[in-house]
């Protein structure tokens, strides 16, 4: 089989992660990178990778097998429309859009044009979370009673980013909503969110919150909770605990090192990894391999447009709950 040729739209933080992973894959070629801020005369890639500032170059690139969209979310819808004229194999980072109607439009387009459209919920591909999912499905802890997700960033993003992000629930918690659905095989039926600005008053001035607790009832009766913070001084805090009728399952933090030190002053261990780039490094590689497998014609599971729609609905319901100070039915 010939080399699979991929195009990448958006060479920011996430785009660079995907580009680096693609360049290390056998049988895959990063044929084109598009970003309006690219220095086209720079030496970012070897001669096999073309660069452009204009997405219109895709119309002349007929050998592209798949397109990966990593641009700011406000451009996703239009870029999917453009990319879909070139290939049916598309990967788009989350959020697909912040408006459910726009996502519904892409869902219809995806069905009409038989698109192979993946959404970048990379945490599904984390090896620990995949093992957690398997143990749940295998009945290791019996019937599930509760699922608790802790997700805290080491420090807030810039205020400019906050203003464009859609807010905590649509930017940060969206990953956790997806994990709740993925691990439980259920939908969120009711949501009650509490939150406030505790880390940085500038975040509040931008119309957002930075600290939240979200309680949910799922359609299969499971009770779920998510706690978020934009600032955990000790590192990137990512934990999941599930309680069932036969026991519990836990995934703890990945630490900077595995040495536990004990002295007369007490015991200590390494802090959590710094941020998502190192904590979820494996998941980004595996999700891209998963996308490439579907280009090859393999049947695999992947996050779909429907998953994007469900998580945005949860985020909007959480915002509504916070505003009205009451539980919201989805």
**Does 219 lie in the same domain as 135?**
yes
Give the domain CATH number at 68: 3.40.50.720
Residue 322 covered by a domain: yes
Kindly state the percentage of the chain with pLDDT values over 70: 98
**Does 246 lie in the same domain as 162?**
yes
**Does 134 lie in the same domain as 243?**
yes
Residue 290 covered by a domain: no
**Average model confidence (pLDDT) for the chain?**
95
Q: Which residues of 36-55 are buried (b: 16+ CB within 10 A; e: fewer)?
A: eeeeeeeeeeeeebebbeeb
Residues 126-162: tens digit of each pLDDT: 999 999 999 999 999 999 999 999 999 999 999 999 9
Residue 102 covered by a domain: no
**Does 40 lie in the same domain as 134?**
no
Residue 110 covered by a domain: no
Residue 183 covered by a domain: yes
Domain boundary among 53, 72, 93: 93
**Does 264 lie in the same domain as 148?**
yes
**Does 26 lie in the same domain as 134?**
no
For residue 41, name the pLDDT band (cuts at 50, 70, 90): low
Residues 102-131: tens digit of each pLDDT: 999 999 999 999 999 999 999 999 999 999
Classify strands 89-93 and 211-218 as parallel, antiparallel or unpaired: unpaired
**Does 165 lie in the same domain as 22?**
no
pLDDT at 5: 96
In this prediction, residues 178-201 reach a mean pLDDT of 97
Q: How many domains does the chain have?
A: 2
The token pair at 123 is 């945490």
**Does 212 lie in the same domain as 307?**
yes
In this prediction, residues 58-64 reach a mean pLDDT of 84
**Does 148 lie in the same domain as 87?**
no
- The rounded distance, in Å, linking the Cα atoms of 178 and 171 is 12
Is residue 121 within 8 A of residue 307, CB to CB? The reply is yes
**Does 196 lie in the same domain as 62?**
no
Residue 107 covered by a domain: no
Instruction: Encode 60-77 in three state secondary structure.
Output: HCCCCCEEEECCCHHHHH
pLDDT at 62: 78
Domain boundary among 93, 112, 141: 93
**Does 18 lie in the same domain as 162?**
no
In this prediction, residues 63-79 reach a mean pLDDT of 95
Indicate whether 39 pLDDT > 90: no
Residue 16 covered by a domain: yes
**Does 323 lie in the same domain as 208?**
yes
- Its pTM surpasses 0.75: yes
More confident residue, 257 or 43: 257
In this prediction, residues 222-237 reach a mean pLDDT of 98
In this prediction, residues 286-299 reach a mean pLDDT of 97
The SS3 of residue 224 is strand
DSSP for 97-130, please give it: -S-HHHHHHHHHHHHHTT-EEEEE-GGGG-HHHH
Structural domain span for residue 232: 124-275+303-329
Is residue 8 within 8 A of residue 30, CB to CB? The reply is yes
Q: Which residues of 236-249 are buried (b: 16+ CB within 10 A; e: fewer)?
A: bbbebbbbbeeeeb
pLDDT at 68: 98
Classify strands 4-9 and 211-218 as parallel, antiparallel or unpaired: unpaired
Residues 159-170: tens digit of each pLDDT: 999 998 999 999
Residue 210 covered by a domain: yes
For residue 73, name the pLDDT band (cuts at 50, 70, 90): very high
pLDDT at 42: 62
| Torsion sign over Cα 55, 60, 63, 65 | positive
Give the domain CATH number at 171: 3.30.360.10
For residue 1, name the pLDDT band (cuts at 50, 70, 90): low
């Amino acid at each position: 089989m010939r080399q699979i040729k991929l195009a990448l739209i958006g060479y920011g933080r996430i785009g660079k992660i995907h580009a680096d992973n693609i360049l290390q894959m056998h049988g895959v070629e990063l044929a084109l990178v598009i970003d309006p801020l690219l220095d086209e005369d720079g030496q970012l890639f070897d001669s096999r990778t073309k660069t452009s500032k204009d997405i219109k170059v895709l119309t002349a690139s007929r050998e592209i097998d798949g397109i990966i969209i990593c641009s700011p979310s406000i451009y996703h819808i239009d870029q999917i429309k453009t990319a879909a004229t070139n290939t049916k194999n598309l990967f788009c980072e989350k959020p697909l859009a912040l408006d459910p109607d726009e996502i519904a439009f892409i869902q219809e387009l995806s069905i009409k044009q038989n698109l192979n459209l993946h959404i970048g919920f990379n945490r599904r591909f984390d090896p620990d979370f995949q093992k957690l999912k398997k143990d749940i499905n295998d009945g290791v802890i019996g019937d599930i009673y509760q699922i608790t997700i802790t997700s805290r960033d080491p420090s807030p993003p810039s205020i400019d980013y906050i203003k464009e992000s859609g807010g905590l629930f649509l930017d940060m918690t969206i990953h956790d909503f997806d994990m709740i659905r993925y691990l439980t095989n259920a939908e969120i039926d009711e949501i009650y969110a509490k939150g406030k600005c505790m880390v940085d008053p500038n975040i509040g001035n931008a119309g957002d919150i930075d600290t939240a607790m979200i309680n949910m009832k799922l359609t299969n009766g499971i009770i779920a909770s998510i706690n978020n913070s934009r600032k955990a001084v000790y590192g990137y805090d990512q934990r999941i605990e599930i309680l069932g009728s036969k026991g519990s399952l836990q995934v703890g933090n990945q630490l900077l090192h595995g040495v536990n030190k004990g002295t007369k002053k007490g015991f200590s261990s390494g802090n959590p990894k710094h941020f998502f780039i190192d904590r979820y490094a494996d998941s980004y590689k595996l999700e891209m391999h998963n996308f490439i497998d579907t280009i090859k014609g393999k049947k695999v599971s992947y996050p779909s447009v429907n998953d994007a729609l469900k998580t945005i609905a949860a985020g909007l319901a959480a915002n509504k709950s916070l505003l009205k100070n009451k539980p919201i039915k989805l």
